[in-house]
Structure 1
């Protein structure tokens, strides 16, 4: 199906371009969200008549996205979750969790604006990309930890999943003979 784009769509084209897309993509996404019109003579005339308004609205959205990007850019947000000793989360941190954390800080970000291919399943510092506008994208840091204290330690660069952090043992000082001594006598008593 041929459509006229009413705004820039990533990996598809710029505003005003006539592009060929699959019928389902046009019917289920582009047309209902107002991102495109069917390419026919009446809609081409309508687009040309509304072009200035559409460009002004797009410029306004872009400037709003840039102001949000300036305040959000480079910030770190803490997400507290339950995790095992190895750092594996019992659940996961998904896009909706990130939206909730940003909402608690006063940022109105949609779930579709969070670029998270797979949910976060381990504690640590994770970079997440936010698409605020088709032309504005920023990177924030999500600090996933078991507590606020651990989040502070992680932010300073401490590893919370190493043997030192878990057991209080220096990994570099450990030697294989500390774990197994073949010459040690066994008296048959388990205690």
Structure 2
């Protein structure tokens, strides 16, 4: 299906371009969200008549997104989640969770603005892109931890999973050394046989 783009669409074109896209993409995404018009003679004439107005509106929207993006870019959000010993989350963090965390701190985003290539399934610090406008993308940082204390340690750059395994290894080594030295229930004294 041929459409006239009313804003920049990644991988397809910029405002005013007449492009050919798959029918489903046009019917289910571009047309309902007013990102494009069907490319017929009436719509082409109407678009050319309103082109300056559409470009001005797009510019205003981009500037507004840029201003809100300045306050949002580089911010960090802490999400407390349950996870196993190896750092695997019970479940995952999806775009909705990220949007809810940003909204809780006063940001104005929709979950459709969150760009996740795949769901986040591990503890740690993750960078996530937020697309505020077709031409404005900012990055926020998610600190996913099991507790507030763990989140603070991760924020300082500590790998809590590796340090947890190291603490357990040291405790096991200390217990083994104690056992070798005669600890763990050994008694001193004379034994009669």
Normalising by structure 2, we get a TM-score of 0.84
Cα distance per residue 1:112-161 (max 9 Å; x no partner) = 21111211111100011111111111111100001111101100011110
Where 1:57 maps in the other structure, the secondary structure is helix
Give the helix-richer structure, 1 or 2: 2
Cα distance in structure 2, aligned partners of 1:167 and 1:67: 45
Cα separation, 1, equivalents of 2:119 and 2:66: 26
2:184 maps to none
Q: How many residues align?
A: 175
Aligned 1:31-180 pairs, distance under 5 A? 31-162=31-162, 164-166=163-165, 168-169=167-168
Name the counterpart of 1:7: 7
Supply the distance in 1 between the matched residues of 2:28 and 2:134 (Cα, whole angstroms).
Answer: 19
Q: CA deviation at 1:168?
A: 2.3
Deviations 1:8-61, CA, capped at 9 Å, x for gaps: 111110111111111121111111111111111111110011111111111111
Q: For the Cα contact (< 8 Å) 1:85–1:166, is it kept in 2?
A: no
Secondary structure of the residue that 1:118 maps to in structure 2? coil
Distance 1:5 1:12 in 2: 9
Quote the Cα distance in structure 2 between the aligned partners of 1:105 and 1:8: 29
TM-score normalised over the length of structure 1? 0.85
- Structure 1 residue ranges (4+ consecutive) displaced by more than 3 angstroms after TM superposition: none
- Please give the alpha-carbon distance, in whole angstroms, between the structure 1 residues aligned to 2:10 and 2:152: 37
Rg larger in structure: 2
Secondary structure in 2 matching 1:161: helix
Shift of 1:94: 0.7
Distance 1:152 1:14 in 2: 43
Match of 2:191 in 1: none
